Amino acid sequence: MQKGASSNATPDTEQGISFFNDRKIRAVAYQIAALFMVGLLGYYLFSNTVANLQRQAIATGFGFLNKQASFEIGESLIHYSAADTYVRALLVGVLNTLKVAFVGIVLTVVLGTFLGIARLSTNWLVAKLAAVYIEVMQDIPILLQLFFWYSFFYDILPAPREAIEPFAGVFMSNRGLVFAVPQWHPVYTYIAAAGLAGCIGAYVLRKWARKRQERTGQIFPVFIFSLGIIIGLPFVTWLSAGAPHKMSVPQLVGFNFQGGLNMSPEFGALLLGLVLYTAAFVAEIVRAGIQAISKGQTEAAMAIGLKRGQILNLVILPQALRVIIPPLTSQMLNLTKNSSLAVAIGFPDFVSVASTTINQTGQAIEGISLIMLVYLCFSLLTSLFMNWYNKKMALIER
Amino acid sequence: MVQLPRDNNQTDRLRAPVIRIGAWQWLKSNLFNGVFNSVVTILVCIFLYKIIPPFVRWAFIDSLWLSTADQCRAGDGACWSIIPANIRFIIFGFYPYELHWRPTVAMIMLISLLFYSKNRNHWNTSLGYIWIAGLLIMGILMRGGIWGLTAVESDQWGGLPLTLMLSVFGMFAAYPLGILLALGRRSKMPAIKTLCILYIELIRGVPLISLLFMSAVLFPLFLPAGLTVNKIIRAQAAIILFTAAYIAEVVRGGLQAISRGQYEAAESLGLNYVQKMRLVVLPQALKIVIPPTVGILISAFKDTSLVVIIALYDILKTTRSVLGNPSWMGFSPEAYIFVALIYFVCCYAMSNYSRRLERELHS
Amino acid sequence: MKLMKLLLIITIVLLSGVGFAGQTVDNVKAKGFVQAGANGDLFGFGKPDEKGIWRGLDVDTGRAIAAAVFGDASKIKFIPLTAVQRFTALQSGEIDVLCRNATQTLGRDSELGLDFAQVNYYDGQGFLVPKKMKLKNAKQLDGATVCVLPGTTTELNVADYFRVNKMKMKPVVIENNAELAKAFFAGRCDVLTSDASQLAGIRAVAPKPDDYVILPDIISKEPLAPAVRHGDNQWKDIVNYSVLAMIEAEELGITSKNVDEMLKSANPAVQRFLGVAPGNGKALGLNEKWAYNIIKQVGNYGEVFERNVGKNTPLKLERGLNALWKNGGLMYSPPFR
């Protein structure tokens, strides 16, 4: 079918060939044919579906979204009860997916970087252990790992009554991990705002310092000052509010722990499985990124008298990151997509809630379209970020 | 770091080069070079000491290999007995019990074919024919219906043969499709290019599980009434369509890496599009992308385990089904380790092979 | 274009079952077997044994249908389906009948385009709790973590129950009976809710069955019935009467062992039932021996019940609601005439 797909750079030089051999005309004909066939296929599937739905009087449309969901969801970032609508239930699912993806990505990057560096360690034992870890984790399907961790999670940990307390205020049981968190106080909003202000301040400071350095050649200790602003501002806010320090400590009330923050075994197993699996891939990416920078770069930087921190900051990291970031983003996206396997171990992520919805309403087409749409949005956002980043990096390259 | 005994008054002289041989020297240079590394080594050793002996005791010393479930419950160690007691269901699923020799022969054929193809000297046209013939015979063995073999419909296939079938056919069908998509994406015809980009990005943007859901739940609704396609084949199609999009991206990378001169040279020889691609561009491009392609194939192989979610009885599902049996409930670590081992051996062989190929091709 | 080609190839080359719109029974006869959807994970109702042979009450119901249509109970193929797939599989024609412990509800009967046949198991939802909790009834479950299968009527019922009684619950949903039971025994949840029949089965396989009790509360009605597509009356009749024949046989005292002797019975009801006096088969569009074949090859309802879920199985279920009407149950068959 590709015959006419001309890659001739100068198609306009052709003259005096018969009508059917004209590349332009052939190309147009092929494209029309392709579009026609795709359209035909689409129409065929669509008309069949409509006929099938009508014949069996199956309900269609997104009307169900505003009906009462009537099922409970185990964990939710927003308030939800069985009396809420399907829309809200699905929103709970999306937020849960985002939650596991966000926490998972942060932990994966940390663990993956650590493993990647360990893989290159001069310590034979450490390097070999990291290599074995990476190989084993990459070669076992993620789903199997999730099953394994989930059964492991509740098989080894005791019931809430006999919960293990490794540190004060932290309880581990087969109901998950419960730990003490500071009790809510209005000042925390201000502290968060102060932290944000600190970040903006540090950013402005860095810009100013760089400009000043370009103008005068003087170096301003940006790092120390930025740290001071980012940590100091919220701290001062906290002190000025009278330093509230009441903790919400988990306590066993009735069946379960009340208070504190709870991480369920489902969430724990999903997070553990995703992080341990994806970190193996991230480790390889980090290793490749570090190895991509030749020794000459470091030596050259040393030769012009840069300090160790400067070498890392100004020479090695910018180059390594350019190699690391694109595949790293795709691993993050993979982690997000793999989080859909939560459905197999009972964590209420988006796919899990959507499949319950399909089940209760019987409207599979709508449900699966929603699943695809949500994940497409995730990957679209990621590729937008990638484009932005690549552009930025391309500028630096020159 | 390493000092040989010598007289004090000789220390200012140039030292003799140190030859690092022997176990002790090796340990010194690889495990205890510096304070930090020594501390790390010791910590790692303590960690390993805490982990390995209990594991060995559980997995080997205290374990039971050929006992009943009740005996297992009495013991402390691993209950590997769950595997031999249920091995035939785990491996073959619903395939008729007395016909298990057929999938066994088919699997042996597949493995020997794979071994034969490992050697790059065997890569030629006849290998292609051998594969086609081999797959055909395997198909006949599995399905039967001719040569006096009892017919076994594909919906009765399960366990390891199903896993292997989903992966092998997935790879074989996805590869050419992926190449076509990659060529389409590089095409100068806007309509075809757009269609291919849409397809590739759409598929890569969604998780495989949503495609499997679609194949299992929606696809039957897309067909006219009364027309149905077997569930396994629908899942197979979903895996092929999914893998093809990823292969397309890898192949596109290879196409981009071929220098413009190659295209132009081919054109100046008067080759048309098909000849140009078949004889000049693709052979080079595909060779470059062998390692990442193997990577895709490995993940395709692992991803076949996702069919568990649509209740196909691949090896993971048959294992879980056994775990659902009242008497064997609770021995999941043993069963999962067994399945993990099977996956590991297959994937490790593939990735090892791809690394070797990469070395050979680069040298 | 490639997608198109591939799809066409898949549909044309690998087409494995081509049927025709219209009468399911003709379609089934042309195929030579009944295609049934089954559970695959539910011990006692639908689950393959270690040789890969399907066992269970639902599965035997399917076999009865095959015996009625073909005179051969083995002419049936089971497809394991998850809860999500089960109804679309039926809607799309992938299966002819769904024998997968599906609860008959108004919504499913209407909006999903299904028809339910005679109930083959009357169930109700209950709660299984560890004895050491010292609970008397379900009203004391406020704040409990509840293990429940997702996408089922059970999930909705338990949410309703807790709402009505102004109690809080935290569901743990696991889409597999075995895993659900395992999670419960490990203490992942305080209470497991499911159909009472399954609770008994789950309790029976507990490491120490005596550590668990089933609370007396039954919070719902769960009539489990085979389902067929809406609008095919003949096929629905066949499925319906295949189940009813097993019930009627038990009432008439016909078992798989004595069915051959019963052929000589002077009782006109037995004669009509077994096709000695013809009429019933023709009315359904089946062989006159259809009921005989069901009983001979599969057994009457009592036999099927005892074989799969009864006292001598790990489930150890009482007949309860599933006893014949004469014995205080709900199993009641209209006259076979």
Q: Same CATH topology for C24-122+223-322 and C125-220?
A: yes
* Burial of A20 (C-beta count, 10 Å sphere; 0-12/13-18/19+): exposed
Which H or E run includes B227?
strand B227-228
Q: What is the mean predicted confidence (pLDDT) over A18-27? A: 73
User: Pairing state of beta strands A247-248 and C191-195?
Assistant: unpaired
- What is the torsion angle, in degrees rounded to the nearest 10, for the CA atoms of residue C112, residue C115, residue C119 and residue C122? 20
Do A30 and A134 belong to one domain?
A: no
Q: Report whether C72 contacts C93 (CB < 8 A).
A: no
CA angle B38, B40, B44 (to 5 degrees): 120
CB-based contact, C231 to chain B, within 8 Å: no
Q: What is the mean predicted confidence (pLDDT) over B15-32? A: 72
Q: Write out pLDDT tens, residues C50-106.
A: 777 899 999 999 999 999 999 999 999 898 888 778 888 888 788 899 998 888 988
Which H or E run includes C38?
strand C34-38
CA angle B50, B54, B59 (to 5 degrees): 140
Do A148 and A15 belong to one domain?
A: no
Phi, psi of B59 (to 5 degrees): -80, -30
Q: Where are the beta strands (DSSP E) in chain C?
A: 17-18, 34-38, 47-48, 54-55, 76-80, 97-103, 114-116, 121-123, 125-130, 144-148, 169-173, 191-195, 212-214, 222-229
3-state secondary structure of A135: helix
Q: Long-range contact list for B135-139, CB < 8 A, 24+ apart? A: B135/B168, B135/B172, B137/B106, B137/B109, B138/B106, B138/B109, B138/B110
pLDDT at C228: 93
Q: What is the mean predicted confidence (pLDDT) over B299-303? A: 90
CB-based contact, C18 to chain A, within 8 Å: no
Neighboring chain A residues of B320 at a CB cutoff of 8 Å: 147
Domains of chain B by residue range: 82-95+152-362
Interface partners of chain A (CB pairs < 8 Å, 3 or more) are B, C
CA-wise closest residue to A364 among C290, B205, B40, B218:
B218
- Tabulate helix, strand, coil % of chain A (nearest 5): 70, 5, 25
Task: Dig out the tokens for B44 from the structure.
Answer: 């790692």
pLDDT at A19: 66
Between residues C325 and B86, the one the model is more confident about: C325
User: Pairing state of beta strands C144-148 and C169-173?
Assistant: parallel
User: Pairing state of beta strands C34-38 and C76-80?
Assistant: parallel
Kindly indicate the confidence band of residue A280, based on its pLDDT and cuts at 50, 70 and 90: very high
C-alpha distances in Å from residue B243, one per residue of A379, B170, B185, B200, B303? 17, 7, 16, 10, 10
C-alpha distances in Å from residue C172, one per residue of C14, C154, C176, C293? 40, 13, 12, 44
Q: Report whether A218 contacts A212 (CB < 8 A).
A: yes
Q: Report whether B281 contacts B255 (CB < 8 A).
A: yes
pLDDT at C10: 45
Q: Write out pLDDT tens, residues B167-218.
A: 888 888 899 999 999 999 888 888 888 999 999 989 988 999 999 988 888 8
CA-wise closest residue to C252 among C317, C326, C188:
C326
Q: Report whether A159 contacts A174 (CB < 8 A).
A: yes
- Low-confidence spans in chain C with pLDDT less than 70: 1-22
3-state secondary structure of C324: strand
In angstroms, the CA A339 to CA A278 distance is 11
User: Pairing state of beta strands A261-263 and B227-228?
Assistant: unpaired
Looking at domain C24-122+223-322, its CATH superfamily turns out to be Periplasmic binding protein-like II (3.40.190.10)
pLDDT at B295: 86
> Exposure string (b/e) for A87-100, b if CB count within 10 Å is 16 or more?
ebbbbbbbbbbbbb
Q: Write out pLDDT tens, residues B105-150.
A: 888 888 888 888 877 777 777 888 888 888 888 888 887 777 777 7
Q: What is the mean predicted confidence (pLDDT) over B231-251? A: 91
Q: Report whether C42 contacts C177 (CB < 8 A).
A: yes
Which H or E run includes A126?
helix A124-138
CB-based contact, A41 to chain B, within 8 Å: no
Specify the CATH number for C125-220; select among 3.40.190.10, 3.40.50.300, 3.40.50.720, 3.40.640.10. Answer: 3.40.190.10
Phi, psi of C252 (to 5 degrees): -80, -5
* Contact state of B336 with A144 under an 8 Å Cβ cutoff: yes
Nearest CA in chain C to A34: C1
Do A22 and A134 belong to one domain?
A: no
* Burial of A243 (C-beta count, 10 Å sphere; 0-12/13-18/19+): exposed
Do A133 and A268 belong to one domain?
A: yes
Min mean pLDDT across A253-267, B208-222, B295-309, C43-57 is at A253-267
pLDDT at A20: 64
In angstroms, the CA C208 to CA B142 distance is 43
CA-wise closest residue to A258 among C135, C131, C168:
C168
User: Pairing state of beta strands C191-195 and C212-214?
Assistant: unpaired
CB-based contact, A369 to chain B, within 8 Å: no
Kindly indicate the confidence band of residue A1, based on its pLDDT and cuts at 50, 70 and 90: very low
For residue A73, pLDDT beyond 90: no
Do A17 and A151 belong to one domain?
A: no
pLDDT at A17: 60
CA distance C278 to chain B (A): 33
Neighboring chain A residues of B298 at a CB cutoff of 8 Å: 138-139
pLDDT at A11: 47
Phi, psi of A310 (to 5 degrees): -70, -40
In angstroms, the CA A270 to CA A264 distance is 10
pLDDT at A96: 93
Percent of chain A with pLDDT over 90: 21
Do A288 and A387 belong to one domain?
A: yes
Specify the CATH number for B82-95+152-362; select among 3.30.450.20, 2.40.110.10, 2.60.120.40, 1.10.3720.10. Answer: 1.10.3720.10
pLDDT at A15: 54
Q: What is the mean predicted confidence (pLDDT) over A71-97? A: 89
Task: Dig out the tokens for B263 from the structure.
Answer: 């295209």
Q: What is the mean predicted confidence (pLDDT) over B333-343? A: 90
Q: Report whether B77 contacts B54 (CB < 8 A).
A: no
Which H or E run includes A257?
strand A256-258
Give the number of domains in chain A: 2
Q: Report whether C319 contacts C305 (CB < 8 A).
A: yes
Q: Write out pLDDT tens, residues A380-394.
A: 888 888 888 877 776
For residue A396, pLDDT beyond 60: no
CA B271 to chain centre: 38
Do A379 and A272 belong to one domain?
A: yes
Structure letter (DSSP) for residue C285: T
Do A32 and A141 belong to one domain?
A: no
Task: Considering only the beta carbons, identify the residue of A30, A152, A337 that sits closest to B333.
Answer: A152
For residue A9, pLDDT beyond 50: no
Kindly indicate the confidence band of residue B287, based on its pLDDT and cuts at 50, 70 and 90: confident
Task: Considering only the beta carbons, identify the residue of B30, B306, B344 that sits closest to A143.
Answer: B306
Q: Write out pLDDT tens, residues C118-128.
A: 999 998 999 99
Q: Is residue A303 part of a domain?
A: yes
Percent of chain B with pLDDT over 90: 13
Do A42 and A113 belong to one domain?
A: no
CA-wise closest residue to A281 among A242, A334, A233:
A334
Task: Considering only the beta carbons, identify the residue of A4, A144, A375 that sits closest to B316.
Answer: A144
**3-class DSSP string for A22-41:** CHHHHHHHHHHHHHHHHHHH
CB-based contact, B308 to chain A, within 8 Å: yes
pLDDT at C250: 94
For residue B298, pLDDT beyond 70: yes
pLDDT at A77: 84
| CATH number of the CATH domain containing A296 | 1.10.3720.10
Q: Report whether C214 contacts C196 (CB < 8 A).
A: yes
Min mean pLDDT across A195-209, A347-361, B17-31, B38-52 is at B17-31
Summary mean pLDDT of chain A: 82
Mutate to test the interface with B, among A144, A145, A384 (most CBs of B within 10 A): A144
Q: What is the mean predicted confidence (pLDDT) over A351-371? A: 87
Q: Is residue A291 part of a domain?
A: yes
- What is the torsion angle, in degrees rounded to the nearest 10, for the CA atoms of residue C321, residue C324, residue C328 and residue C333? 100
Q: What is the mean predicted confidence (pLDDT) over B39-59? A: 87
CA angle B1, B7, B13 (to 5 degrees): 70
Do A45 and A95 belong to one domain?
A: no
Task: Dig out the tokens for A79 from the structure.
Answer: 């308030």
Kindly indicate the confidence band of residue B19, based on its pLDDT and cuts at 50, 70 and 90: low
Between positions 21 and 60 of B, the ones with CB within 8 A of A are: 30-31, 33, 37, 40-41, 44-45
* Contact state of C11 with B229 under an 8 Å Cβ cutoff: yes
pLDDT at C154: 86
Q: Is residue A280 part of a domain?
A: yes
Do A15 and A151 belong to one domain?
A: no
* Burial of C125 (C-beta count, 10 Å sphere; 0-12/13-18/19+): buried
* Contact state of C88 with B154 under an 8 Å Cβ cutoff: no
For residue A8, pLDDT beyond 70: no
In angstroms, the CA A104 to CA B102 distance is 44
CB-based contact, A57 to chain C, within 8 Å: yes
Range of the domain at A46: 11-55
CA distance B144 to chain A (A): 31
Nearest CA in chain A to B26: A124
